[in-house]
Amino acid sequence: MKAFRGLLVSVALLLAGCQSVLMSPSGDLAVQQRNLIITSTVLMLLIIVPVIVLTLLFAWHFRASNKKATYDPDWDHSTILELLIWAAPLLIIIALGAITWVSTHKLDPYRPLERVAAHRPMPAGARPLQVNVVALDWKWLFIYPEQGIATVNELAAPVDRPIQFKITASSVMNSFFIPALAGQIYAMPGMETQLQAVINAPGEFQGFSANYSGHGFSGMHFLFHGVSEEGFAQWVQKAKAGGGDLSREAYVKLAQPSENDPVTYYATVEPGLYRAILTKCVDPESPSCMTRMDLSPHETSDSGVMLQPASTRGMAAMADHPHSD
């Protein structure tokens, strides 16, 4: 008994360091993903729990010392048992398949949001906040094209306003993850992924890289601030008042590998910088620059696909979702 209590105490101590943010998120998309996890788990437990219970029950009932148990060595078939054994898992699989199909489309990160929260549809004409995300070694760069600012390792957005993230990377594959907001989205050099999300509660939330990307990976953390519209305007003014200029030259220095970088603000951002990062054309003379790539049908818009030369445009695209810089 003492050993059992010691085991419980050890498990409790280990679990004390865990965070429950995935099960109590503050963003509607993360809430729907949480509900999907719970629903799927409950459906699977409908099979797992009875099987475990019946296994233990049969072992106890048919133990050697139980003289009341009927011994029937010639028994080999039961239609009722066969129906239960096969029908129950089949129904669970059908239910899981239907839920997965619907949720895959409903929770598509590229899909514009249809609601702010449960029972709160998205207001007509609501414009999402645009944020361009660049995963660097080993820090995060956030560019706000409408506000004309950029930040390193700090992100902010108004509560209940939809956010459209456009995500890429400078060198290696990474993963953009704010557990309280939504699921992780990969960031890849030369490609752009997207995430449509909304935060429904004010506060400070942890964000980080969920994909190992080298020596400084463990320091790729940032703060996401959910604030009011007035608070967001003040935050933007703070960045403009105390920030520098993010030119191409400044970006080249920023992109150099470094660890545990402090929060940095940029009051201005050189026009077209994000697209230059995406197309690897920060240095137009670089051999990896994609300016000669075929970006038809719209040369001036980001297509959300893997950028590629005209000779290879038959290759599979990254995505078919249109978007603009």
> Cα 108 to the chain's mean position, in Å?
11
Contacts of 178 (CB under 8 A, 6+ apart): 27, 155, 205, 206, 207, 224
Binned at pLDDT 50, 70 and 90, residue 297 comes out as very low
pLDDT in tens, 186-228: 999 999 999 999 999 999 999 999 999 999 999 999 999 999 9
pLDDT in tens, 259-274: 999 999 999 999 999 9
pLDDT in tens, 151-187: 999 999 999 999 999 999 999 999 999 999 999 999 9
In the chain, domain spans:
21-59+79-107, 115-282
Binned at pLDDT 50, 70 and 90, residue 230 comes out as very high
Evaluate if residue 95 carries a pLDDT over 50: yes
| pTM (global) more than 0.85 | no
What local confidence, expressed as pLDDT, does residue 295 receive? 45
Name the fold adopted by 115-282: Immunoglobulin-like (2.60.40)
Nearest residue to 190 (alpha-carbon basis) of 271, 304, 76 = 304
Average predicted confidence (pLDDT) for the chain: 87
In three-state secondary structure terms, 208 is strand
What local confidence, expressed as pLDDT, does residue 196 receive? 97
